Amino acid sequence: MTSRFGVHFACNNYATDNETAFLQHESNGKIYSYAPATYTDAGDPITVQGMGDLVDFNSGQYKFCSRLQLVGDRYTTTNPVEMYWTDDNYLTLKGGIVVDLMNARPKIDRMGRFARRGHYFTHAADMPLRLEAIELTIEPGDV
């Protein structure tokens, strides 16, 4: 299955033995196993993508985002997340800025002016990813 954000695994059957999940691919019929502690597929990192709702913070007025901070597990080795944002209902994405979850404060500063914004991220590393929230520091702007 393909969306505008990439290719997704398409399965039509699922079974488990309480330790491993088994998925049957919908087009080639092959059986694939899925284990929660596995972050690669045939040696390549599995890409995780996340897309948030569009938010305007109950106001159509412009505002400024002075900081975006990722809240989640902290890692002892590099664990990059690539952050994007949209001000036009996901027609285009801005950013592509790498935020490393190894940093004490994984953040992006000075993200500009917007009236309504959505956030999107990708993660492709042979590491776990557990995010709790995306915190935004918003300041009022002009009309």
Q: Is 124 helix (H, G, I), strand (E, B) or coil?
A: strand
**Side chain identity at 24, as an amino acid letter?**
Q
- What's the pTM? 0.78
The ranges assigned to domains in the chain are 2-38, 47-140
The domain 47-140 having CATH identifier 3.40.50: the answer here is: no
pLDDT score, position 90: 94
Position 11 confidence tier, pLDDT thresholds 50, 70, 90: confident
Q: Which of these, 110, 75, 78, lies nearest to 95 by C-alpha position?
A: 110
Q: What is the dihedral of CA 95, 78, 69, 37, to 10 degrees?
A: 100
| pLDDT, tens only, 74-126 | 999 999 999 999 999 999 999 999 999 999 999 999 999 999 999 999 999 99
